[in-house]
A and B are shown apart, each in its own frame.
Chain A
Amino acid sequence: MNEFVLDSAFAGVTISLLTYMLGMYLKKRFQSGLLNPLLLSIAASIVILLAAHIDYEAYNAGAKYLSWFLTPATVCLAIPLYEQLELLKKNWAAVAAGIVSGVLTNMVTVFALAMLFGLNHQEYVTLLPKSITTAIGMGVSEELGGYVTITVAVIVITGVLGNILGDLVCKVFGIHEPIAKGLALGTSAHAIGTAKAMEMGEVEGAMSSLSIAVSGVLTVACASFFAGFIQ
């Protein structure tokens, strides 16, 4: 089975898309926000691979073509941003204040919790770039001497959780302005959160896209400073 899948260009993609479609169907059928198609697809794919004794490498031999589209898709996030240019110009102060406060909150809370759990330097810097997009986060973790594999795992889990919890957190904290919702999702849960923001609306999606780039770059600038706090 494993050998066959390893040679197959379509097995991984097919498993991924079929489980995603199943998730979409369940979400529609039961009208529940907790039934997140992305999470269901990831969980179901893992179960299928484990049950059929297929390695991740074999699955990814085909599934990597889905990941391949991420770069062009991220480039395209400039489109909704451009379409909301007027809104951005009008609200630049809110955008800047929101993203800067979000990035600082990330640094301070990671530091506080790292102190609480008594983490060492390497574990601490592994978690510092957890809120930003994978490609930037990996670079930050590597540069500061963290465990890059764990950084990637945490970034992905953060994104998926943000995707699921976005609606709930905005509701609980009384965040109703579309601009504020978009900034919140993009700054806390990068591109996977942005996928949720796109579902919420055009403004949310555009603001979330902007947050990925700005919070990513700000984190690069802040992380090396904060990294020195735990030796």
Chain B
Amino acid sequence: MKYLKQFLIILVISFIGEVLKALLPLPVPASIYGMVILFVCLVTGVIRLDAVKETGRFLIEIMPVMFIPAGVGLMSSWGVLRPMLLPVGVVTVVVLVAVMAVTGRVSQAVIRKKDAK
């Protein structure tokens, strides 16, 4: 029963996210609205951590498998992708490494500067 209750809370928040997505004219997905709602509810104490913890942990743990169908979907977008393969490939890899390196280095520099004080 505990897990069912936790799952229900998570689903209700997901549903509220869907409603917000339908009402607000922003390109923000239901999941991000839901994440903000759950975060605010936890911070304000409207939802206690115990009320969602175990099911939440489980869902996060199995999250990688949820991306398999989207990845397999690449087989059907291969046709449109092929003519742009070189620029798309280079942009994908170079931008990924650049964003990762810059984000990491900048935040690390700020953390270390603060710690040194």
What is A's interface to B at a CB cutoff of 8 Å? 12, 16-17, 19-20, 37-39, 41-42, 45-46, 49-50, 56, 59-60, 63-64, 66-67, 69-83, 85, 91, 93-95, 97-99, 101-102, 105-106, 109-110, 113-114, 117, 119, 123, 127, 130-131, 133-136, 138-140, 142-143, 147, 149-150, 152-154, 156-163, 165-166, 169-170, 173-177, 179-181, 183-185, 187-189, 191-192, 194-195, 198, 205, 209, 211-213, 216-217, 220
Verify B100–A97 contact, CB threshold 8 A: no
Verify B35–A213 contact, CB threshold 8 A: yes
Chain B interface secondary structure, helix, strand, loop or mixed? helix
- B72 proximity list for chain A (CB < 8 A): 16, 42, 45-46, 49, 56, 59-60, 63
**Chain A to chain B: the 10 pairs with minimum beta-carbon distance, closest first:** A139-B27, A98-B107, A135-B29, A102-B103, A184-B104, A42-B71, A175-B104, A74-B31, A75-B34, A76-B56
15 A-B contacts (beta carbon < 8 Å): A41-B65, A49-B75, A71-B29, A74-B34, A76-B10, A76-B56, A82-B39, A98-B107, A127-B91, A130-B95, A152-B73, A156-B71, A166-B100, A174-B105, A175-B104
Verify B36–A78 contact, CB threshold 8 A: yes
- B22 proximity list for chain A (CB < 8 A): none
The digit string for B36-64, where 1 denotes a CB below 8 A from any CB of A, is: 11110011000001001101110111111
**Of all chain B residues, which has the CB nearest A175?**
B104
Chain A interface secondary structure, helix, strand, loop or mixed? helix
Verify B74–A76 contact, CB threshold 8 A: no
B80 CB within 8 Å of chain A: yes
Complex Cα–Cα for A17 and B69 (A):
11
Give the total number of A-B pairs whose CB atoms are below 8 A apart: 327
Verify A109–B69 contact, CB threshold 8 A: no
